[in-house]
């Protein structure tokens, strides 16, 4: 591409960003401007519970259904993989129009199965999740002198062995007046809305409003089912409704219907549209995040000091003294060598299961690259929670693209171990493309069968399974083979010293070397475990995690610590004449995954004590195992590659025949 082509591209980008009269918004976060009286439609997502971690469809319970029928909203791949099932609902508002005592529907009498299911969902503390203009409904509860924030509201409550349902909802919609000259008016509502810029004075003089907050107060109100027999939806309830969230009255009984009502008020707010997610993303415990980073920096400084001592005092000194000797003195010194210098003829001897090592390092590079790029994009704001599922989609796309890097690294390492032999690079590339994805596919398929058996919306549909397999074999595998092809064409890394034909015997050690290797994982875990608590709480406790800036810093520090730990351990093994450093360098940093999985078990026992049922526990442990394996591959590749560079650098200065 020539200079003028680059110039045209940059001019186009600048024109898009700095276009006069229009704001710049991140993908999926453009504002909707509604006129007074425009229809606002509430949507429903899957009902969820921190008791079971198994989502179910909203309409699996006896709730009111929309007159036009239940319709799925436009979903992306990420939403489906996360278990979201967004559908339309009967709740409808008119912009800036307060309404009270609105009758919604009278359900059919609760038969045995529906009655038992509703009681079960109340026992399991399921939450209803409503969405208005892409904002989840938020509920505030006052405790002493401060407010607690919750997304969604409970299906019902159990009180004195009786079950009550929240059948009246009090909505409060916060709106902000759109006062700019160039306003985007909305044709239609929901995700399929079409934005039409209105420039100049032509058009309506009525002010436009944007939704900047969506609050809900659930109430349990006793309604007379007989008095609403002839009422139609959205008509006025015969008597005034008093919504008191501190009392419950609507007792559910078998073979009796439930009456649902609602009210809505609109409140003008000073909250700007770009700040409307602040209520959900308020960062709690920022001091703890900074403490986590400070803790990591202390570990890094300690390890960096050890590495510095190794390089400056030990390695540099030994090499300088060795270089200053003449050949006779060198020959004499060779007989008196000790430590790492004794393994010069064995240090680059091919390890056992070298093909598997190449595959795991290649997969680790792919996972590591995916994590770094995804967290960077998220930290820059391109994966806003306003665009549900974008994080999962981004991870899938980046993972598939980085198959090129995985194939390249694995095949080039394979050729290096094989002293430049290109034979078998296709097989290595295929194994890289199928190793970790195959493990993930096996775990997810097993968990999916459990979700299918529970009739959960978290189960991946069969059609989506076919799509994922298509993406795997038609996109990821070919890209990995392309990377392997380039790895086969690239020159292999030449060893600085020759390998002896007869392997050197490793002296007996005072302690098992693998014990030290697995113990080394505690240092990387020490840099991660505080941030890990916030991540686990976000995944399993229904909290929004959006401090990706902190996560990016912690992740970079984790990579540095893993590299340093592996490097120090490799040097220690070479000093005791243990030349089998290949696998040990991989697991020295990869062993952090063991502690992450043990922490996950600890979190299950002490933080998720209320998690009920073997299916829920199997889901939790399955996803935790998958996360731990991904971290083992990624951090293991960091440790191995840093150690390989260190050993190559160390012995490239040794001139032994």
Contact 115, 252 (CB under 8 A): yes
pLDDT the model gives residue 146:
66
Bridge partner residues of 146 (DSSP): 143
Strand, coil or helix: what is 139?
Answer: strand
How many CA atoms lie less than 13 Å away from 561 in the CB half-sphere? Answer: 27
pLDDT the model gives residue 199:
37
Bridge partner residues of 233 (DSSP): none
How many CA atoms lie less than 13 Å away from 272 in the CB half-sphere? Answer: 3
Q: What is the residue-wise DSSP string for 244-286?
A: -TT----B--TT---EEEEEEEEEE----GGGTTHHHH----H
Q: How far apart are CA 608 and CA 533, in angstroms?
A: 12
Q: What is the residue-wise DSSP string for 480-532?
A: HHHHHHHHHHSPPPPPSSPPPSSPPPPPPPSS-HHHHHHHTTHHHHHHHHHHH
End-to-end CA separation in angstroms for the chain: 50
553-574: pLDDT as tens digits: 889 989 988 998 899 899 888 8
The crossing angle, in degrees rounded to 10, of helices 614-651 and 354-379 is 110
Contact 574, 339 (CB under 8 A): yes
Bridge partner residues of 41 (DSSP): 92
Q: Which of 191, 169, 181, 386 is nearest to 278 (CA)?
A: 386
pLDDT the model gives residue 282:
67
Q: Whole-model pTM?
A: 0.83
Cα-to-chain-centroid distance, residue 192? 27
Contact 598, 529 (CB under 8 A): no
346 C-beta neighbours (distance < 10 Å), count = 19
pLDDT the model gives residue 502:
85
pLDDT the model gives residue 324:
56
Q: Which of 501, 503, 500, 507 is nearest to 656 (CA)?
A: 500
Q: What is the residue-wise DSSP string for 314-367?
A: IIHHHHHHHHHS-HHHHHHHHHT--GGGGGTTTTTSPPTTHHHHHHHHHHHHHH
Contact 322, 333 (CB under 8 A): yes
Strand, coil or helix: what is 159?
Answer: strand
How many CA atoms lie less than 13 Å away from 278 in the CB half-sphere? Answer: 8
Q: What is the residue-wise DSSP string for 96-108?
A: T--EEEEEEEEPP
Q: Which of 37, 565, 607, 506 is nearest to 307 (CA)?
A: 565
Sign of CA dihedral 107, 111, 117, 123: positive
Q: Averaged in consecutive runs of 10 residues, what is the pLDDT profile of the chain (657 residues)?
A: 39 35 41 90 93 92 93 79 88 94 94 92 95 92 72 92 95 86 40 39 64 95 90 93 91 93 95 84 60 72 74 61 53 53 86 94 97 92 77 93 97 89 89 96 94 89 90 96 95 88 82 84 85 83 76 88 90 86 94 95 86 87 96 97 92 65
Q: How far apart are CA 220 and CA 170, in angstroms?
A: 11
Q: Which residues contact 460 (CB under 8 A, 6 or more apart)?
A: 80, 81, 444, 448, 451, 468
pLDDT the model gives residue 603:
92
Q: How far apart are CA 562 and CA 362, in angstroms?
A: 17
141-191: pLDDT as tens digits: 776 666 778 889 999 999 988 999 999 999 999 999 876 543 444 433 333
204 C-beta neighbours (distance < 10 Å), count = 11
- What CA dihedral angle connects 546, 547, 548 and 553, to 10 degrees? -170
Contact 47, 128 (CB under 8 A): yes
The crossing angle, in degrees rounded to 10, of helices 425-453 and 614-651 is 160
Phi and psi angles of residue 136, each rounded to the nearest 5 degrees, phi first: -70, 145
Phi and psi angles of residue 93, each rounded to the nearest 5 degrees, phi first: -120, 165
């Amino acid at each position: 591409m020539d200079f003028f082509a680059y110039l045209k591209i940059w001019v186009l980008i600048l024109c898009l960003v700095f276009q006069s009269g229009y704001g710049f918004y991140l993908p999926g976060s453009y504002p909707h401007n509604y006129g007074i009286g425009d229809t606002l439609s509430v949507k429903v997502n899957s009902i969820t519970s921190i008791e079971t971690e198994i989502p179910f469809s909203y309409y699996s319970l006896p709730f009111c259904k929309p007159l036009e029928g239940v319709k799925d909203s436009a979903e992306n791949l990420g939403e489906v993989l996360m278990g979201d099932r967004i559908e339309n609902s009967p709740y409808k508002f008119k912009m800036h129009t307060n309404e009270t005592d609105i009758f919604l529907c009278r359900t059919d009498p609760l038969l045995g199965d529906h009655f038992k299911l509703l009681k079960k969902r109340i026992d399991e503390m399921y939450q209803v999740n409503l969405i208005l203009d892409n904002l989840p409904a938020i509920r505030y509860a006052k405790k002493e002198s401060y407010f607690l924030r919750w997304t969604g509201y409970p299906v019902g409550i159990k009180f004195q062995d009786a079950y009550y349902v929240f059948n009246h909802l009090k909505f409060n919609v916060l709106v902000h007046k759109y006062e700019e000259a160039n306003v985007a008016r909305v044709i239609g509502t929901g995700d399929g809305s079409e934005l039409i810029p209105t420039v100049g004075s032509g058009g309506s003089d009525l002010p436009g409003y944007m939704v900047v907050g969506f609050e809900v107060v659930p109430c349990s109100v006793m309604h007379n089912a007989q008095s609403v027999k002839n009422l139609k939806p959205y008509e006025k309830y015969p008597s005034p409704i008093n919504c008191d969230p501190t009392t419950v009255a609507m007792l559910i009984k078998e073979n009796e219907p439930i009456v649902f009502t609602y009210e809505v008020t609109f409140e003008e707010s000073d909250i700007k549209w770009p700040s409307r997610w602040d209520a959900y993303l308020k960062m709690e415990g920022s001091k703890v995040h900074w403490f986590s980073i400070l803790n990591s920096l202390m570990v890094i400084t300690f390890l960096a000091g050890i590495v510095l001592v190794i390089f400056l005092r030990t390695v540099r000194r030994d090499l300088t003294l060795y270089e200053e000797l003449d050949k006779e003195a060198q020959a004499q010194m060779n007989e008196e060598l000790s430590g790492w210098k004794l393994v010069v003829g064995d240090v680059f001897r091919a390890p056992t299961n070298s093909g598997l090592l190449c595959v795991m390092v290649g997969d680790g590079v792919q996972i590591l690259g995916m994590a770094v790029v995804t967290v960077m994009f998220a930290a820059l704001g391109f994966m806003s929670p306003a665009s549900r599922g974008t994080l999962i989609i981004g991870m899938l796309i980046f993972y598939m693209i980085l198959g090129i890097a995985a194939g390249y690294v694995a095949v080039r390492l394979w050729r290096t171990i094989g002293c430049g032999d290109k034979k078998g690079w296709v097989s290595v590339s295929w194994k890289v493309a199928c190793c970790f994805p195959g493990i993930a596919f096996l775990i997810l398929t097993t968990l999916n069968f459990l979700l299918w058996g529970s009739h959960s919306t978290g189960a991946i549909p069969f059609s989506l399974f076919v799509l994922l397999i298509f993406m795997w074999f038609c996109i990821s595998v070919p890209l990995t083979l392309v990377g392997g092809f380039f790895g086969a064409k690239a020159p292999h890394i030449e060893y600085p010293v020759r390998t002896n034909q007869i392997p050197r015997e490793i002296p007996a050690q005072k302690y098992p070397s693998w014990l030290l290797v697995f113990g080394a994982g505690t240092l990387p875990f020490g840099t991660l475990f505080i941030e890990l608590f916030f991540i686990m709480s976000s995944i399993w406790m229904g909290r929004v995690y959006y401090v990706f800036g902190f996560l990016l810093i912690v992740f970079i520090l984790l990579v540095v610590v893993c590299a340093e730990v592996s490097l120090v351990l490799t040097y220690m093994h070479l000093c005791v004449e243990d030349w089998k450093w290949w696998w040990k360098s991989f697991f020295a940093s990869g062993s952090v995954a063991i502690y992450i999985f043990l922490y996950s078990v600890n979190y299950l026992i002490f933080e998720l004590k209320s998690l009920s049922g073997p299916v829920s526990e199997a889901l939790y442990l399955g996803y935790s195992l998958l996360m731990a394996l991904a971290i083992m591959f990624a951090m293991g590749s960091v440790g191995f590659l840093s150690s390989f560079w260190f050993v190559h650098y160390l012995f490239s200065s040794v001139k032994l025949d």
